[in-house]
Chain A
Amino acid sequence: MRRALGIGAWLLTVAAGLGVFLVLPHLVSDFHSRDLARAGVFFIAIVGLNLLTGYTGQISLGHGALMAIGGYTTAALVVHEHWRDVWTIPLAGIAAGIVGFIIGIPALRLSGLYLALATFGFAVAIPSLLKKFSGLTGGTQGLRFLESAPLQVTGLTGKVTIFGHTMTQNHFLYYLTWSIGIVGFALAWLIVRGRLGRVFRSVRDSEIAAVSSGVNLAATKTLAFALSGVYAGVAGALLAIQDEIVNPLTYTFLLSILVLVGAVVGGLGSLPGLVLGALFVQYLPKISTHVSGRSGVRDFVYGAAIIVVMILLPTGAGGFLRRVARPLTTWLYTRP
């Protein structure tokens, strides 16, 4: 009986989440749907980083650079090869996944801060390299999609027709981003629940114990990096499609920091809070700008908000949600 109730409650939560996803753009202005679409980009990257940092225990300060790989893959295919923008997303994911796999190799030797430095070096190097190889990347100017606009699904009219529905471009971007986000989230949830998730957690909790139980450390770590890279690459591709431009300035070290802040605020090692982490990263700068337009006061408020949230929720939103839901979950899952 209780088990049935538990499943019921779970289904209800999922249905409510999907309902919010479908209705939300119609409740806010067209302009705000675009902000929500941007939050979706953060959400996808954060889910990926959480698989790596939260579940496998490998820190990365380089996810902004992996997003750059994805974004530039999309941009190069659209601008140079005249692909349709949405069809480049899987390739962007694969490209960033391969790069993620390669960054994962030093992780076999390094841990903790030393790994942080290695990934950090990657994040710092990418903007300079993008400027250096200007033939492919457009250098400091970046690549604009505008010239190839007729090839895009979104086109120049600002309207998109898909499955017989016509909607504004911003609504389309919202639905595109969050549909991919929800699929990615569901996949991450399946991974975390399954055998692979247990292997990841065993590496996080004790590498020695994991190895002695037959876990292949090298394969696990590089796989976690590659998976996480795929998420970051897809997020970067979506960011490029939303902005219709890629530029070294978008993919600075700050982007890596924002993804990490979102993952920690959302709650490492838990999935439901990550939506809140993404919204936090997306909306906090806007809220602080609202407090004061002066750059100093804005940054001050921004930093203070991060500190206060971390003091109030040291385990992130995920930990908080778990604590709030504990009486319910304990009741549902104990035999009477």
Chain B
Amino acid sequence: MNILVCIKRVPLTGDKLVLTPDAQTLDTRLLGFTISPHEECAVEEAVRLVEKYGGSSVALTLGVEPATEQLRDAMAIGIDRAIHLVTGADDNAPEWDPLATAGAIADAIRADGAAFDLLLFGNEAADSGGYQVGIRVAHTLDLPCVTGVKGLEVNGNMLTAKRETAGGMEIFELPLPAVVTVKEGLNLPRYPSLPGRLKAKKKPIVTSSLAWRDGGLEKLQLKLPPEQTHQAEMLGKGADAAPRVVDVLERLGLL
């Protein structure tokens, strides 16, 4: 199987978010970056499928130069090679909107020439949360697509995808090649090993710089949601606190 996983570099935030003074983006000076969590599961799934059925895997990202770090992270887990569509030098570069992103990714997939059996995306990015890129790429490439997937099985040329709904589980069967956007819970991603990290340093990344594409979406400014306040209440000390603890547990429906 040949699998492509699309990942995005996103900031690793704490409880409190800080915006840049112009409110255009998060202040990331003190933050680390990671692969968006849904996509970590996509990477893990790709590696598992290749381990099981053979073939090869590619990680693709559209993002700034430092996003190389996330491509190496994916390759440390077991992805074989990477494609980096570079949009800027550092994390201050303007972000591409879903339309522009999907267009560039579709172009890159065509240009790569590999016949991918499966294109995996995260259901939505942890930062911008557009929910669009996977679907748009599928549309552009005229491939079937299932979103929000938490279970995958391959049977020959067919793919079974499971999606949680309020009442239970939706199960889809679709022919390969296909696009699937996945959610956390699909699997438990492994940690990279030391040899994995060292091997990743030597795996190939094909880099190309992209000219800015205007997808039509304009960011005016970011606004922080109202701060969540935490309130703690002392229920008492020692055995005296027991009745009140019971009250609370009952109120929460846990008893």
- Do A and B assemble together? no
Residues in chain B within 8 A of chain A (CB atoms): none
